[in-house]
Structure formats: structure tokens, C-alpha cells
Structure 1
Amino acid sequence: MKNVIGFASDNASVMMGEKGGVMALLRKENPSLFVQGCVCHSIALCASNACGELPNRVEELARNIHTYIMNSPKRFTEYEEFQKFTEAPLHRILHPSFTRWLSLEEVVKRVLEQWPTLKLYFTSAALEDKMASASAILQELHNPVIKMYFSFLAYILPAVNKLNLDFQATSLRIHKLRTSISSSVKGILSNFMKADKLKSSDLTQINVHDPSNYLSLGDIYRGAITESIFLEHSSDISNRDLEQFHVKTLNFYVALSKQMLKRFLSSNLFNNLHLLEALDPSNVQQGKPKSIIPLAVKFPNIIEKSAYEDLNREWREIISCELPALSVASEEPENSGMLLH
């Protein structure tokens, strides 16, 4: 019990019982117990909150396509024939989940992959089935702005999912998580914030609430494919629809950034992760940090204060040694199978 580190869900103090529940009982045995909310759940909440800024019709299109084709064996078989005719990959249409927001990336990519085949199929379905649902889907598939929303999500969601996969990796990466979080958040901010506002090394000092820090609507980056769709169909897109697209995607960025800054950069986890960077062999080779004590004091249940001097002496001997060059393995996190296939 003395070496326990606890992990709980997003509302840890409520669900574990800060006053009389499991958390309180564990802290009787180990007062230095650290309780951190479920990171993957927090990331999903960030994505969910941001997606709420986009028009409902984007998710509804993905859901309606799945319902129309996959809920009927006859239509599914017919769609496979259209895939073969258009030489599209024989992939199933995926279903967007209400609870697994991070699976949305695979749903979006699948719809974009099948877009030409879907247009051809629903053109036929609208004529032969004469169903209003098929005609409504076809109308959305012919709308370039809707396709731009899908392409925008296909661009930005991988950045969110990468962070999620970093936390789910089975290899040891805890000493790199702070850098991973900072890089992900800064990458998202760079899409819509002025460059001079991002120069601060302390991301918590960046004010995402101030619109004067944002790029102009037309200069905000929404992905290369999104830009190419607009250039191809610019004459078919009204100024009103384009402005709404610009505003909605900006609101997505702002909501996502606010949530990530709140849930990660302002959390105890992020504040303490920099101490674990001392465990990175590449940092050890560079002789940093000079002392391991800032990390040791966070774990009084593992090492007593009386052992600090011996611990730091050994640490300083390690960083003073001539160590052989490191062979750095791939930094790609292992996929834990969270995404849909």
C-alpha cells in the first residue's frame, strides 16, 4: 500500500470519494497518494466540446449514410457493387459513436474515402428508391462546404488522437508526455493564433480568450485538402456559407484549445511531468537536470529524506560519466486498438 499511485476518472474526487470513499481510505495508508483523472476521457471531452461548435448536419450526414446503407443487407450488397464499379476500397461505412468521440476521425476519413462512390450510389438510390432520405443525403454530398467540414475534421482530429495514443502507449513514454502535450497544444494554437502570440515558452500565458490574438478568418489554417476543395468549388460557395464555415471552424479551434489548456496545462499532472524528463536518457547525456531531488521529494513514500544526499551523489556521478551514444528507437506510440477498423 505504501507505493500505491491512484488513477481515477475525470471527476476523481467525486467518484472515488475524497472524504469517505476509496481515495480517503488509500490516503490513510499513503498520504502522498497522487490521483489523476483519466487522461483519455479528458481528451475525448475536449474533442466532444469542440465538435459541438460545428453544424449538426456534419455528424448527421455520417450517421444517415451509415443508417441507410448498413441497416439493410440489400442496400449493403448494392453498395458493394458500386464500390467495385468505381474501384473504391471495399470498406464498410463506419458509425459515429455518441460516447467514443475520438473514433470520429476514422468515420470522417472513411466517408471522404468513399465520397465519389457515395455520390454515385445515392444518385441511383434517389431515382430508384424515391425516398426523401436518399435525396437529402445526395444533396449534402453535392454541397462542397459540407465536404470542407469533413476535410477540416480529417486534418485536425489526428492531432487530438495522437495525444490520446501517446497516453495509451504500452512502451515507457511518461518522461516524454509533457513535451507531447505542449507540442500538440501549440500545434493547434498555431492554426488560428498570430505567430508573435505563441513565442512564450509558457503556454499557460497565451490568452486564447482574446480575439485580437487570432488570425483573420481567411488566414486561419484548416488543412491542405480543405483549401483545395474551396479552390475547386469557390464559384459554387456563397459568401454567407463561406463566412459561416470560417466562423464555425474558428470556434472549433478556440473551444478545443480552451479545453486542452484547462484540462492539461493547468493540471497537477502537467505541472509535475517536467520533473520526469530527468528520466529521459538523452537528457541524462546532456547533464540535465543537475539534481534529482525535485523529483525525489514528490515521492516521500518511496525514498526518505535521509537518503537524499546519497541519491543525488549517485545521480551527479551518472551525468558526469562518459556514456555510449544512444540508439534511439522509433518514437511512434503503439496503437492500443482504440480506433475503429
Structure 2
Amino acid sequence: MMGINHSVKTLVEGKYPWVTVVKCSCHQCALVASHACKKLSKSLENLCRTVCNHFRHSANRQDAYRKEFQVFTQVEQRRFFALAPTRWLSFQNCARRILEQWDTLMLYWDSLVLDDPSHANDHVRMTLNNPYSRVMMFFVEYVLRELNEFNTNFQSEKPLFHLMKTQVEKLLRTLAINFMKPSYAGTVNPFDINPHDEVNYSPDENVYIGYKGYDFLVGLETREVTCGRFVAESLRIRRSARDFYVEAVQQILDRFPFSEKIYDLVHLLTPSSSYELKVLSIRQFFDYYDSALWNKAKLEQEWRSIPSVALPSTVDLPDVDDMDIVVYWCHILQTKSPNGSRIFPNVGKMVQYFFALPFSNVIAERMFSLLKEVKTDKRNRLSAVTLSATLKTKCGLKRNSKGGLDSGKSVLELEPGLVKRVLKVNASASSRDCNVLNQSIVYGLAKDIVCDIREQSDSD
């Protein structure tokens, strides 16, 4: 798909040289975590998988664990997550849930081994009773949370392409400074960091393993101050953490190449860059994407006129960069001249071009999930027209839900003419009747969206 030899990527680039290929940032982040976790001990992953599988298939075990052990230790009664390879970064959620009930699980498996002394149960009990395994689990929960936050941010449906490079730079610097000298990792360009440069490594005792892991390790040190095992285990944990960081940084550098000029041009859209005219001319945009769509002279003139637009009364000039980028450009592009015509039609085309750039395929994945809910095994003969109409209706219900998406009160207000048309359709309707009905539904949804946009612009 994305290889360098006769893949879809190379074929598309060969036919359309001006196309910019952007890999899914969420999927790339998941691959980074997957490869980096291979540097850690397999016992942690096996623990998450074994604990979940132990309770998943037995209601009696769940009931006994809940009534006898969770009640006794007074922990919140929650189920364990499955370590699913098809779910992005599920390891972090599994680790967090096990850490919440670590002491309870220790009691449960100590009791279980007495009744069922199998090799698997004994291995789980030994892992749970090993305090250094707990430290490593704290580290896993911390470091995967950093990657999970990046992943979650780019699962949004808002246009975030302009933030991708800066967020990757932030993630690189955060990971690098955890195992390298701050004088190096904090000053050099994040994309020039060499994670294999041992000269710039921090001492072993300074490798960061997260606050909870460090705090738990300090508690072990006070209890085992005379034990030589603590020194060896502490060194092993920090070196394993460093191996994770090295692999994670290298994977990010390999999977997030920002050599394309589009990643620098997209910063034209930030509120401060456009409103304060940090880029006086957008000639570089024409050099990158020269098309008959642009009236270059007028686009340049409109660009330089943006600072003349008054900001909303609630925003001061120093705070312009804190504005949501969609709200900012809606305010700019809705500005009209005294005769009622829009002032920035050409800038609007450029903004639409940038906002259309993809940064992940999460939206498509969500639509596939929605499609799977509609086209089930018992409804596998639905036509494409029916599927399309059903999905548009479901999306329209979510968009027009009253009280928010979580209120559970989804109401779609249909036009009276549309209702009459639906009532006239027979059970044995022809394909033409279905197409007409589908077009009517699309028209009704589009009309609702336009009305919402007009009401929002009027209120602004």
C-alpha cells in the first residue's frame, strides 16, 4: 500500500506528481508503541493477557473476585480490558486497570494457587508478587499515556493538519529528554536528534520512568537498603526504559518524515501567522501548488488585507493565537463588504484546500464501524442506496441531536414535503422511487445543516 516498489503510493505519485501522501498519524503512533514495547519484558504483556482471559470466560470467577476480594480490599469494581492488537494502544488501558487492582490481584492469585497450582497460575502469582514488575508496569502506563494523548488528539474530526509537525516535535522532545542530557535534547532540532548517540545519554540513575514508578522505587529502596538486589533491579529497569525510549524516538523519526514543503506552508493558516502577517507574501504557496484555481494577484491582495478585519470583541490581539482555527477563519471569511459581497473569496478557496488535507483515517474507520452496525449478518442484502440513506440519516440524527450527543435525545426535524413523499412510497417501490427518496433525504439534511450554519453566523 505505502511501499516504495510498485505500491498504491508510488503509482499515484507517478500519475499525479503534485499529490502529497500523508500516512495516518494515529496508525503510525500505534506502530511506534508496538515496536517500542518489544524492547520490554514479555512478562508484562503476558500478565495483562492472562488476567483478562482468566476472568473473561467465567462468570463464577468474576463473581467470586468481585464479592470476596474487591469488596474486602475496598477497590472500585471494574472489569479488566482485553489486550487487543487491533485497538490502538490498548496496552496502556490494560496496564492502568491492573495497577488499580494490583494488591487485590495478589490476594486473589495467592488463594488461586492453593486450589489450582498450575504452572500458568504460579507464573502470574510470581509476577504479581515481584515489586519490580510493578515498577515496570508503572513505566508502561506512563510512557504509553504520552503516546496515547498524541493519538487521541489526532482522532478529532477538526482540521488539525497544521498542528501535526509541531505535535510530533513536542512528542520527540518529551521522549528524548527522558533519557538524554537536557542540554542536548532540549536545544537541538527534534528531527536531528540521534537516539543512538551514547555520548549524550543521561546517567542510568537519571532515566525517567514516570512519577509513580519513581515514587514506588524510592519506597523499595528504603525497605531494601541493605539488599544488593535493589541496585541490580533498579539498573535493569532504567536500562529497559532507555531501550524503549531509543526505539520509540527512532520509530517516530522513521515514520513521520516532514520533508514535504506543505508542512511548512500549512502554518500560514494559524491565526497569528495570518492576522499578524508574519508571512507578508504567499508566493511560496503558488510555487508549491500552481493552479488555474487561484487568481494570484487577488489572492495576494486579500491575504494582505486580513489584518484590517476586526476581531470579535471577546478576543484581544495578543490572544489571537489562542482562538480555535475554525472559529477564526469562519469569522474572517464571513466578513462582507458594504454591498454584501464576501471580501475574501480567494483566501476562502486556499483555506478550504488546507483544511481538506487529511492527517488520519479515523473518520473513515468510524464510518466503517457505523456501516458494520447497519449491515449485519441478518441484513447482509441491503442495497447500496439503502445503506447510503440509512447512514446519512444516522449521521443527521447525531448532528441534530438536542442536548448534545450524550443526551440520548436525537430528533431529526423533517420537512413536511419529505414526510409526504415517504408516506407515498410503497413497500414494492422501484429503484427510481428509492433514488428520488434518497435525494430528498439528502436535500433535507443539507437544508438543516445550512440553516444551522446561518443561525450560527447570525448569532456571531
Q: TM-score range by the shorter chain?
A: 0.7 to 0.9
Q: What SS is found at the alignment partner of 1:168?
A: coil
Tell me the distance in 1 between the aligned counterparts of 2:2 and 2:17: 21
- Name the SS of the counterpart of 2:132 in structure 1: helix
SS at match of 2:218: helix
2:243 to 247, 251, 263: 251
Distance, in Å, in 1 between the alignment partners of 2:6 and 2:28 is 15
- Contact 2:181–2:201 (CA under 8 A) maintained in structure 1: yes
CA-CA distance at 1:297 after TM superposition: 3.4
Deviation at 1:308, TM superposition (A): 2.2
Deviation at 1:48, TM superposition (A): 0.9
SS at match of 2:81: coil
CA contact (8 A) 1:44 1:102 kept: yes
- What TM-score does the superposition give when structure 2 sets the normalisation length? 0.63
1:105 equivalent in structure 2: 92
Q: Which moved more, 1:75-84 or 1:102-111?
A: 75-84
2:233 to 231, 241, 249: 241
AA paired with 1:241?
Answer: E
C-alpha RMSD over aligned residues: 2.7
Corresponding residue for residue 53 of structure 2: 67
Match of 1:45 in 2: 31
Distance 1:167 1:297 in 2: 29
Counterpart residue number, 2:266 = 276
1:312 aligned to which of 300, 309, 317 = 300
Deviations, residues 36-63 of structure 1 (Å, cap 9, x unaligned): 2222221111111110100111111111
Letter in 2 for 1:309: A
Quick one: structure 1 residues 31 and 101, their matched pair in 2 at CA, closer, same or farther if it must change by over 3 Å?
A: closer
Runs of 4+ in 1 over 6 A off after TM superposition: 335-338
| Aligned residue type for 2:110 | T
1:299 deviates by 2.9
Quote the Cα distance in structure 2 between the aligned partners of 1:15 and 1:43.
Answer: 22
- Select 1:263's aligned residue among 255, 259, 262: 255
1:160-175 correspondence runs (5 A): 160-175=147-162
Q: Output the amino acid matched with 1:317.
A: S
Instruction: For 1:290, give the aligned amino acid.
Output: L
Identity %: 27
Scaled by the length of structure 1, the TM-score of the pair is 0.84
Matching residue of 2:72: 85
In 1, the alpha carbon distance for the partners of 2:291 and 2:325 equals 34
For 1:68-87, what per-residue CA distance to the aligned partner results, in whole angstroms no more than 9, with x for missing partners?
22232221221122223322
Distance 1:320 1:214 in 2: 50
1 CA distance for matches of 2:291 and 2:88?
A: 38
Q: 1:243-282, CA deviations, whole angstroms, 9 ceiling, x for partnerless residues?
A: 2211111000000001111211x3346x532321211123
The residue identity in structure 2 corresponding to 1:261 is L
- Aligned mates of 1:13, 1:43 — CA distance in 2: 24
Q: Please, which runs of 5 or more residues in structure 1 have no aligned partner? A: 1-8
Q: Which residue of 1 aligns with 2:442?
A: none
Give the total of aligned pairs: 317
Alpha-carbon distance in 2 for matches of 1:196, 1:205:
14
Amino acid at match of 1:169: S
Counterpart residue number, 2:289: 299
Q: In the superposition, relative to structure 1, how do residues 308 and 196 fare at CA in structure 2: closer, same or farther (>3 Å)?
A: same
Residue 302 of structure 1, CA deviation: 6.8
What SS does the corresponding residue of 1:297 show, helix, strand or coil? helix
Q: 1:205 to 1:211 in 2, by over 3 A?
A: same
Q: How many Å separate the matches in 2 of 1:302 and 1:175?
A: 24
Equivalent position to 2:217, from 210, 223, 230: 230
Letter in 2 for 1:142: N
Greater CA deviation, 173-182 or 149-158? 173-182
Tell me by how many angstroms 1:95 deviates: 1.6
Greater RCO, 1 or 2 (C-alpha within 8 Å, sep 6+)? 1
Alignment of 1:301-340 (within 5 A): 301=291, 303-304=293-294, 307-319=295-307, 321=309, 323-324=311-312, 325=315, 326=320, 328=323
DSSP-derived class of the 1:35 partner: coil
